[in-house]
Amino acid sequence: MMGSMAAFVLNDTMTKTTGGAVPLFQLLFLRGLISITLILVLWGRLGPMHLRLGRRDWKLVAIRSAAEVGASYFFVTALFNMPLANLSAILQSLPLTVTLGAALVYREKVGWRRFSAILVGFAGVLLIVKPGTDGFNVWSVYALVAVFFVTVRDLSTRRLSKAVPSMTVTLAAVLSVTGFSAFAQLSTPWQPVSTTHWVAITAAAFFVLIGYYLSVQTMRVGDVSFIAPFRYTGLIWALILGWFVFGDWPVPSTLAGAAIVAATGLFTLYRERKTTRPLPPL
């Protein structure tokens, strides 16, 4: 899982190095084409993939894919305009938003301890985005909207039947983002892509696939509730790469907010594991 998170942050880093020289939708379109090519080349090697899904699963895949489109747009836009570590810190609130979303949408029971942790975690998010101060800007809002779309994506994923192959879901998401970007990029002039940017975009697509592959392999052989906390190592990678590649280092309040979000997220995962642990046999 730590390798998976490192790969995902490396994807973000490679994407950010293009610095907006390649228009957003053109970049997403090119990265998507490369990702689709890699998936097709590795067909069957990363797990089974077929299209024999029920109507309910197809609806969930459609919702998930639409959420992936929204998440990609808002996330990459925020990525180009704010420090990598700040964006990663905001994304660490996902366990909290998914837990809250499951309670609101699926009526899953959330005790007072986890609900209190969610409130404290959101206070940590406020420390990161700093509403009402000079440090707050529209890109922080974009990051929060990206969190919303990723939450919708994860909630719909949780309702997919176990018979749906993970690679089918991945291919559907990549096709959706690529197809949407193909039409959206028609509204802007096509820009020539330098060799350096081609390398960055190709590397980004490669790291996305590696991150996904390592994540799937981990989930298949490990206890999900034990593995999930290791997702927070992504924040460490974001801090290191943000400083090393872009010279960015978060201010103390952002670090404090990230620590609060991570701590409450870990507590939420711990409580979820404890409350769903099966009772010993009589």
* Local confidence pLDDT in tens for the 282 residues of the chain: 889 889 989 999 999 999 888 999 999 999 999 989 988 887 767 667 777 888 899 999 999 999 999 999 999 999 999 899 899 889 888 888 888 888 888 887 777 788 888 888 888 888 888 776 666 789 989 999 999 998 998 888 888 887 888 788 888 888 999 999 999 998 888 899 999 999 999 999 999 888 877 776 675 555 555 666 777 888 889 999 999 999 988 888 888 988 898 888 888 777 777 766 554 444
Query: CB under 8 Å to 204, separation ≥6 — which residues?
Result: 11, 14, 15, 31
| 280 lies in some domain | no
| 90 lies in some domain | yes
Name the one residue in this structure whose structure tokens are 């993970």: 166
| 199 lies in some domain | yes
| 32 lies in some domain | yes
| 281 lies in some domain | no
Q: Domain total for the chain?
A: 1
| 116 lies in some domain | yes
> Terminal CA-to-CA distance of the chain, rounded, Å?
35
| 282 lies in some domain | no
Sign of the C-alpha dihedral computed for residues 230, 103, 119 and 141 taken in this order: positive
pTM of the prediction? 0.86
Domain of 152 in residue numbering reads as 2-275
| 182 lies in some domain | yes
